[in-house]
Structure 1
Amino acid sequence: MGFELVQVRLLGQVRRTLQVMAEPADPDRVMDVEDCADISRAISAILDVHDPIPGAYTLEVSSPGIDRPLVRLNDYARFTGHLAKLEVEPDIEGRKRFKATIAAVDGDDILIEQDGQEFRVPFSTIRKARLVLTDALIKAAQEAQARNHGAQAATDEASPEGGV
């Protein structure tokens, strides 16, 4: 469907929620509500046929948002220069938690910088990570959205019917 899976979680005990996070495969495209609805309909149809989850639950489809979880190695490359919170295990130099700038990706390692010190974090040791909402991150998201709208407007102008 042109989307990449970011994360799937089954949350709750009594009122369970199957949470699916997805984003467009094209990094310059911004996810919208209609995309979430399309994905939800497609997943619902598959879940209705295969019924892999016993009992009642609610399906929730969303984009990962601006302060998104970082779950794939290429997420770190894509967000180089941005601030992130990471939890690792085992610890690195006596630390399990970092709030650091993503400096680079080197093979299967993430290079992060915190307080002038660089740390090499093996991707396999990261238990949880997400971007931190900063002005720079908001600006990058706004620029991506502007590029997306500009590309859509150009497509609409090129279409004889005005696009659809």
Structure 2
Amino acid sequence: MSTHRQDGTRDRIEAELVDPLRELDLDVEAVEVTPAGKRRVLRVAVDKDGGVTLDDVADATREVSRVLDESDVMGEMPYTLEVTSRGVDRPLTLPRHWRRNADRLVKVTLTDGTDLTGRVLSSTEESVTLDVSGARQEVAYADVAKALVQIEFNRKTEKKDD
């Protein structure tokens, strides 16, 4: 199967899923179709404000299965469906990604090659404000070449469990 055909299939699958999953308040973040022997693996990553729960993944899996059963987009070849959350390792590419990662530490590479690491303070549809070493810095999304959430272990927070 050519890459172009796989891309076309992936795009068709994504187009079929966007509206039904939006009804569940979920965004389609990624669709991947990977050959696996005589089968294919279809991975659909979803996200929403406040994060995705196991119940959300279960609901999304049922909805994706229903939509694909009613469509011919996957053709006759058998496939395995995996529905997951977006995952912390995916780049921040849309305003909603920044909004959903407020207060998280991110590493940003700007289009001029400069690297910044800072905490997301706020975001708009055009830019993000970061706390970089105690200084507020506004960065336009157009100036971002790549941005990834950084994993923090043992981060001290002000919230206390009662």
TM-score bucket of the superposed structures, by smaller chain? 0.5 to 0.7
Give the C-alpha shift of residue 110 in structure 1.
1.7
Cα distance between partner residues in 1 of 2:104 and 2:118: 8
Secondary structure (helix, strand or coil) at the match of 1:111 reads strand
Paired residue for 1:5?
27
Aligned-pair CA distance for 1:124: 4.3
Q: Taking structure 1 as the reference length, what is the TM-score of the superposition?
A: 0.57
1:22 pairs with 2:43: no
Q: Which residue pairs with 2:126 in the alignment?
A: 108
User: How many residues matched?
Assistant: 135
RMSD: 3.8
Tell me which residue corresponds to 1:153. Answer: none
Q: Give 3-state SS (helix, strand or coil) of 1:9's partner.
A: strand
Q: Distance in 2 between matches of 1:108 and 1:102?
A: 14
Report deviation, 1:53: 3.7
Distance 2:73 2:156 in 1: 38
Does structure 1 conserve the Cα–Cα contact (< 8 Å) formed by 2:105 and 2:118?
yes
Aligned to 1:158: none
**Whole-angstrom CA distance in 1 between matches of 2:84 and 2:143:** 26
Q: 1:8 to 1:104 in 2, by over 3 A?
A: same
Find the aligned partners of 1:42 and 1:68 in 2 and give their Cα distance: 25
- Structure 1 residue 108 displacement after superposition: 0.3
| Identity within the alignment, % | 21
Matches of residues 135-150 of structure 1 in structure 2 within 5 Å?
Answer: 135=153
- Of residues 33, 53, 57, the one that matches 1:36 is 57
Question: Higher RCO, 1 or 2 (CA under 8 Å, sep at least 6)?
Answer: 1
1:1-27 Cα shifts (integer Å, max 9, x gaps): 4332151221534464322222455x2
Secondary structure of the structure 2 residue equivalent to 1:77: helix
8 A contact 2:108–2:117 mirrored in 1: yes
| Equivalent position SS for 1:12 | strand
Structure 1 pair 137–41 and aligned structure 2 pair: CA distance change class (3 A): farther
Partner of 1:80: 102
Q: Secondary structure at the match of 1:50?
A: coil
**CA separation in 2, counterparts of 1:20 and 1:138?**
33
Amino acid across the alignment from 2:68: L
* Residue 64 (structure 1) aligns with: 86
CA 129–58 in structure 1, closer or farther in 2 if over 3 Å, else same? farther
Q: Give the unaligned 5+ runs of structure 1.
A: 147-164
